[in-house]
Structure 1
Amino acid sequence: MSAQERRAKILAAAISAFAREGYEKTTMDQIATGANITKPVLYDHFPSKQALFQAVLETIRDGLIAKGRSIVAEDTDPADKFRRAVDAFLGFVEDEPAAARVLLTVPSGDPAAAQLARTVQVGASAGIAALLTAFMGARSPWQLRAATEFLKEGLHAIALWWLDNPGPTRREVADIVLEIAWVGLRGQAGSNGERKRKAIDRKR
């Protein structure tokens, strides 16, 4: 097994343990056992549980951001682009529930781990801000940040609720998000388009 393959196996075992036991109760022994490796080998890859937790969070976050960027880059209708972004996030929650719980649940009993989780979320905010820029246009930095946090926390809340209440389908959950969130963004996208058209007319 290559070092990269072993690292991936460790991360998978860590995600499973963190989701099942929580950060505080998870031990490096449990993760080593789950990855079917010895504890010294585990420490060769990650010097501490906190370092491993950070790697887990960043890996999950970066995968989501990459999906979001690819959607933002597409030349499609704004409504379709937003729906696809929401669906991609909910698809992650549906397909990788353990990873979703780890990413979205901030440890409560370890201040250092909690701060680490919040720091990783700053990167997630940057990814969502890039998506919202396509709809909100030339808004002030604070307005974009406020909208980003509002949407991010809302998506996180509905994701955790859905994990605990798995009755609705992914499409149904996406529909309620769009019904609530797209109403405002649709107006922003329309206003942004109108401003662009006026700017083009002035140049003619």
Structure 2
Amino acid sequence: MILVLLIVVKWNKDNYFFFFLNSLFTSVFYSKKFAEKRRIEISEVLLFIASLLSISFFIYVTIHGDTFEILPYLQILFLATIILLSKYLIEKIIGDLFQVDQLIGRYLFYKQGILSWLGLFFLFPIALIFYFNAIDNQILLQIIIGVLVLTYVIKLFAFIALYQKHILSYWFYFILYICTFEIAPYLILFKVIKIN
């Protein structure tokens, strides 16, 4: 399914796909998208769905190993979809409430692009390697998660550096936003996983 969605995006919008493929290393993709009038395109939706499938597959493989059952995978997919979509919608509402919707819209698109890229081109290949080779190494898994989190944080700080003059005028809201929507949900999720 993931590969089919990637092929559809590449076949439908070849330039878009290659710009997205290089988006982790250059800012051309995001600069071009920010210059356009923002609307959700079908290619973005397909990449988001593919990244949800790949992130869920990675989580499934790390939990269940080399046996695949559809019901637990669908449960993980449903949970990941609910968490990401509800977080996105709440952040959009907060952006509208504090009248910083254009900046928040760009930030959310940038953040979702990074998450989609990491899900598709980092986590999915690693999940396939873990699945087919039956790798069960906790230290290697922790290193992979550390690289993932570090890359995600570095890219978010790159966005903050790029838009610092806009962010500094709303510094109180930005700190509140970071604590509420970027740190707290992951701490709560980590605590729930640790308890279970």
TM-score, normalization: structure 1? 0.31
TM-score, normalization: structure 2? 0.31
Instruction: Answer with 1 or 2: which has the greater Rg.
Output: 1
